[in-house]
Amino acid sequence: MKKILVIGGGFSGLASALGAARRLDELGISSSNISITIINLDGWHSIRVRNYEPDITNARVSLAKILSSLRINLIIGDVNDVDLKHHSVTVSTPKGIQTLKYDRIILALGSILNRPQIYGLFEHGFSIDTWNEAAAFGKHLDGLKKQQEASGKSTVLIVGAGLTGIELACEMPERLRALGIRNGHIILADSNSHVGADMGEEAQSIILEALSSLGIEVLTDIQISSIDNNGAILNDGTRIDAKTVVWTAGMSANPLVLGLPVNHDDRGRVIVNAEMQVIDCSRASRRRTLQRYVLPTCATNGSFCRT
């Protein structure tokens, strides 16, 4: 039997597995001839794009439920190693370590939030990168309304003015109001000289207008030096009192992808061809396409390795 392994049950992994299942059905190939298995860290298909919302109850869906009537197997586990040479992966599952062989592999591990070595960031900084982190952030906000008035109670400092930071900042005034927290003060800060740096110059004025209409303060060209449970200190010594500091500053490819012996771009994403296949640069003279596929957000197809 041939085996297709899909690592990651997010948008990319799920869509790939469903696409493969549909195609095999169209070709009349049964699951006893070709199997499809998704391996995911937990039992959830997380809709990460909704993690900034006030109620994220439905922002994750049971993978077992989605896959129950399909020909796709599910393994819940943490893939620790992908051996491209021997076509095998090592997975830590609740039942122990498993080694699984594959004929085709799809790497759909997604991205992770960059967390630089800033004092206090891990302990005191919130994030909405994963469902669990977004849930912890929501719980913290709920707890704020019970806290006594204190400097920084109504201040939310969001560090990282990319898409996620802007989206969250725009949501916060209403979210604080709904919690009964008056005089909410939202600060969107970035080390860049302007917000939404990835979105092009034309977007700047529109973003700034939207932020201003919501009363969001924008701080650019700043560097955070430390974070504590009452706020943050900037590199120039300025202190910002804020009971809530959220880190949304930049993404990297999944560390597992970074460790693969293939070509990466400067953000750690694997370089692939237009079909999202990895090019095997070690056999440069024959430029061979490997039987593995890497999907956004851990891949880029802007460039090919040179022969």
- Whether residue 105 contacts residue 293, with contact meaning beta carbons closer than 8 Å, is answered with yes
**CA within 13 Å, CB half, 145:** 12
Residue 147, both tokens = 């806290």
Site string for ligand FAD, 246-265 (x = CB under 6 A): --------x-x---------
Asked if 16 interacts with ligand FAD (CB under 6 A), we say no
3-state secondary structure of 268: coil
- List Cβ neighbours of 263 (8 Å cut-off, separation of 6 or more): 270, 271, 279, 281, 305
The structure tokens 């990168």 sit at 129
CB-based closest residue to ligand FAD:
10
β-bridge pairing 277-280 and 288-294: antiparallel
Q: What are the backbone dihedrals phi and psi of residue 280, each rounded to the nearest 5 degrees, phi first? A: -85, 100
| DSSP-assigned letter for residue 27 | T
Asked if 169 interacts with ligand FAD (CB under 6 A), we say no
**From 5, 6, 12, 218, residue interacting with ligand FAD (rule: CB under 6 A):** 12
**From 4, 5, 10, 35, residue interacting with ligand FAD (rule: CB under 6 A):** 10
> Closest approach of Cβ 271 to ligand FAD, in Å?
16
Asked if 131 interacts with ligand FAD (CB under 6 A), we say no
Asked if 242 interacts with ligand FAD (CB under 6 A), we say no
**From 164, 244, 263, 300, residue interacting with ligand FAD (rule: CB under 6 A):** 164
Sheet holding 78-83: strands in order across?
A: 78-83, 88-93, 96-101
Among 185-193, 194-202, 286-294, 295-303, the segment contacting ligand FAD (CB under 6 A): 295-303
Q: Which residues bind ligand FAD (CB under 6 A)?
A: 7-13, 39-41, 46, 48-49, 51-52, 78-79, 108-110, 128-129, 163-164, 167, 254, 256, 295-297
